[in-house]
Amino acid sequence: MRNVLRTWRDEVKKTFSGRADAPPDWTLRLAEGDDAGYHLPGSAVWAVHGSMTPIVGGIRTLLMQSLHPGALAGVHQHSNFREDPLRRLANTIRWIFTVTYGSTAAAEEATSRVRRLHEPVQGNYSGNDGEVHTYSANDPALAGWIHLAFTDGFLAAHKIWGGPIPGGADSYVRQWAQAGRLMGVEEPPLTEAEMRRQLDRWYGQLRADDRVKETVEFIRNAPLHPLLRPGYRVLFAGAVYSLEPRYRQMLGLSVPRLGPFPLPVRLATKVVLGVVHVALGGFRRRMGPSEMAARERLQRLGGPSPRVA
């Protein structure tokens, strides 16, 4: 049993960081840099991204993103997500945490790297109007949809399973708008209400078809280590639970039962997030390696001490 638990813990670490024995090198480099970066301790972004809720928010984001035919075409035509889905996850985590905790130079360098990877991601797709449309991963409009899905997904999950957000939901949307600007989004929302209005404007362009169904099934049955699959099943259910009913209906999803005598999905998701938190070292240390590195940089620059409760 001890070996099983050790294997499970190592697999959790490898899934989210790429290795089980030590933090990824890029997290340690977040201690470098000559300024405080775009976000500071006590910010709404640090509160949301420093919790466990982005795990559920990330699954929700993938489901939402799949509803835009241009975004989905880019993934299917230019990505090896089926063969190596965890690499795509690791790259996304790296960008989010670098923008969250890194210096401005680190955040801009990480964003430039992502945008270079996006340059060849171009093609055509059929829209709901029957016309053929072109898409580009670096197109400001399509980047706007991706940003909305991220912001909405992370915020929705945190509002259900996370703690207080300093300044409230509007502060998170306003602060994370900087990430959208870095990715070329021209008018990212600055309030939760504006985010909802922008999502409504996109609604008519969204579509659920056979390719979406295929993608949803892949996300539902992600190729994880067998020891991680029971917990992931709960987290997927939590992501579905957090979706607005109209999107859930488009995706052909409903909140599943978790066994013959199920815990409520909301409670079960909270339990699994707590277990993952402990597996990642949170039982004795609340800070992850990215936050620790950021606080080291801030202390060197005369900012907050890395020693926090």
Query: Per-residue pLDDT tens for 226-257?
Result: 888 999 999 999 999 999 999 999 999 998 77
Q: What is the pTM of this model?
A: 0.90
pLDDT tens for residues 190-221? Answer: 999 999 999 999 999 999 999 999 999 999 99
Would you give the end-to-end CA distance of the chain in angstroms?
32
Using DSSP, state whether 308 is helix, strand or coil. coil
Nearest-angstrom CA–CA distance, 46 and 151: 14
Mean pLDDT of the chain: 87
Give the type of residue at 298.
Answer: L
Q: Hey, where are the domains in the chain? A: 2-113+122-300
Residue 309's pLDDT band (cuts 50, 70, 90): very low
Query: CA 222, 219, 291 angle in degrees (round to 5)?
Result: 80
* 1-30: pLDDT as tens digits: 556 666 766 666 666 656 656 678 889 999
Going from the C-alpha of 144 to that of each of 43, 131, 188, the distances in angstroms are 23, 21, 7
